[in-house]
Copies of this chain bind each other. A is one copy, B any other.
Amino acid sequence: MSTKEIPYKIYLNENEIPKEWYNVRADMKNKPAPLLNPATLNPITAEELSAVFCEELVKQELDDDTAYFPIPEEIRNFYKMYRPSPLVRAYCLEKELDTPAHIYYKFEGNNTSGSHKLNSAIAQAYYAKEQGLKGVTTETGAGQWGTALSMACSYFGLDCRVFMVKVSYEQKPHRREVMRTYGANVTPSPSMETEVGRKINAEFPGTNGSLGCAISEAVEAATSNEGYRYALGSVLSQVMLHQSIIGLETKAALDKYGVKPDIIIGCAGGGSNLGGLIAPFMGEKLRGEADYRFIAVETASCPSLTRGRYVYDFCDTGKVCPLAKMYTLGSGFMPSPSHAGGLRYHGMSSALSQLYHDGFMEARSVGQTEVFDAGVQFARVEGILPAPESNHAIRCAIDEALKCRETGEEKNIVFGLTGTGYFDLVAYGKYNDGTMSDYVPTEDDLAKGFAGLPNVNE
């Protein structure tokens, strides 16, 4: 089919929304290493994990073999309110870059949470409701995940308790108000409401909080309150499963126009978006049916894949969560507080870590100013103001498209535009003022993080 026929935006029909999520682990020869119980250091059992997560989600988390999970109808109905999301042909960006490459982006920002996070939030809320729970607890950093879970809980009439990293709670009051508008209870973390929060407050008075600490608080609040479970927006295999809808829709849209991507690019924090976007393509690669280049783009200020170690580590500062084998900078690693947006988690999804370790995926890290350069260039021609996280993928897509200009190659480049930057205007303001930080951790900074790795690796 000629490229002339490709519209600016490819929308699937509502009845083309996938009816099953795809579990990439089913096609991995080397499965991700099992989660470990933090108390016993043995592989965690479904029963143990059920104290933290809903039963159905525990099944999804531990199942490395089932390739497809049906998407319940109530979730599909919710999806219809904001999905299918458009796959956009970036004609204007191509023209601006004067590149022979064809650039596509899957845009997940057209919903009030402002990102792809809603795809998993609605699933996690649904299973909580099905189990007859009162509510869920969670943590949020930049606020996208907390907003998404608030929306999902509001839809199902569930209570939602969000522990929000204190610095974000104070600096992002708007995100906080969206969550409150959707009926969530938002607490700055570390709080005095949990054991672990009180302990961290005592140890580090005046701390700004961290995602790892907020996770510990949310897990404690879930396990110590009757009728609550914990929900997490990234890193977990269940999240990657739910987010596979991004990749499945992308593939269906490309297939419709006979387009085969050469390079697929996603920003990488905990891996939820990247894992979801590449899932079905990675499945084809793992099964030897097709070949693609996958590029994970992380921030140079928190470079878990490019400078981390592939070892077992704690998932949270309070060490209450299961241990995961992953590329990590150590749960005590402190990213720069001046870093914008998400992508600040110290570790990476176990499944993506294994795939990277096995050579199925590339990774690169990029600095903050060059990332915003790309985001603003994109915004001015494509009309969408991207989230800082998404700017990482845009940077890499532009770089690859510029290489095509050099070589004359007509590559198909696909990247994930995970969300919008409407709640990140303080960061854009710093960029506009030329006061953006380009912090990169020194070897000493990294060594401090690695020093906190658990003994189990020895």
A132 — which chain B residues lie within 8 A by C-beta? none
CB < 8 Å: which of B154, B382, B422, B426 contacts A81? B382
Q: Tell me if A252 is interfacial: C-beta within 8 Å of chain B.
A: no
User: Can you tell how many copies of this chain the complex includes?
Assistant: 2
Establish whether residues A383 and B81, one from each chain, have CB atoms under 8 Å apart when the complex forms: yes
A255 — which chain B residues lie within 8 A by C-beta? none
A182 — which chain B residues lie within 8 A by C-beta? 379-380
Q: Chain A 410-430, CB within 8 Å of chain B: the 1/0 string? A: 000000000010110110110
Q: Tell me if A173 is interfacial: C-beta within 8 Å of chain B.
A: yes
Stretch at the interface among A8-16, A30-38, A311-319: A8-16
A78 — which chain B residues lie within 8 A by C-beta? 383
Output the nearest chain B residue to A385 by Cβ-Cβ distance. B112
Output the nearest chain B residue to A110 by Cβ-Cβ distance. B110
CB < 8 Å: which of B110, B154, B174, B376 contacts A380? B154
Establish whether residues B181 and A80, one from each chain, have CB atoms under 8 Å apart when the complex forms: no
The A1-24 residues at the B interface (CB cut-off 8 A) are 7-9, 11, 13-14
Distance (whole angstroms) from the CB of A89 to the closest CB of chain B = 10
Output the nearest chain B residue to A386 by Cβ-Cβ distance. B112
Establish whether residues A383 and B151, one from each chain, have CB atoms under 8 Å apart when the complex forms: yes
Output the nearest chain B residue to A150 by Cβ-Cβ distance. B380
Q: Tell me if A82 is interfacial: C-beta within 8 Å of chain B.
A: yes
A423 to B178, CA, bound (A): 11
Q: Tell me if A451 is interfacial: C-beta within 8 Å of chain B.
A: no
Q: Tell me if A155 is interfacial: C-beta within 8 Å of chain B.
A: yes
Q: Tell me if A46 is interfacial: C-beta within 8 Å of chain B.
A: no
Distance (whole angstroms) from the CB of A79 to the closest CB of chain B = 9
The winner among A88, A114, A384 for most chain B CB atoms within 10 A is A384
Q: Tell me if A131 is interfacial: C-beta within 8 Å of chain B.
A: no
Establish whether residues B425 and A383, one from each chain, have CB atoms under 8 Å apart when the complex forms: no
A426 to B173, CA, bound (A): 9
Distance (whole angstroms) from the CB of A258 to the closest CB of chain B = 18
The A245-301 residues at the B interface (CB cut-off 8 A) are none
A80 — which chain B residues lie within 8 A by C-beta? 7-9
Establish whether residues A422 and B425, one from each chain, have CB atoms under 8 Å apart when the complex forms: no
Distance (whole angstroms) from the CB of A94 to the closest CB of chain B = 13
Establish whether residues A381 and B155, one from each chain, have CB atoms under 8 Å apart when the complex forms: yes
A/B interface sample: 16 pairs, CB < 8 A: A7-B13, A7-B80, A8-B80, A8-B81, A81-B383, A82-B383, A111-B384, A112-B384, A154-B380, A155-B383, A174-B174, A174-B425, A180-B432, A181-B379, A181-B431, A422-B422
Apart from the given pairs A81-B383, A114-B422, 13 other A-B contacts in the complex at a CB distance below 8 Å: A9-B14, A9-B80, A11-B11, A82-B383, A92-B155, A111-B384, A112-B383, A154-B380, A155-B381, A173-B429, A177-B432, A181-B431, A181-B432
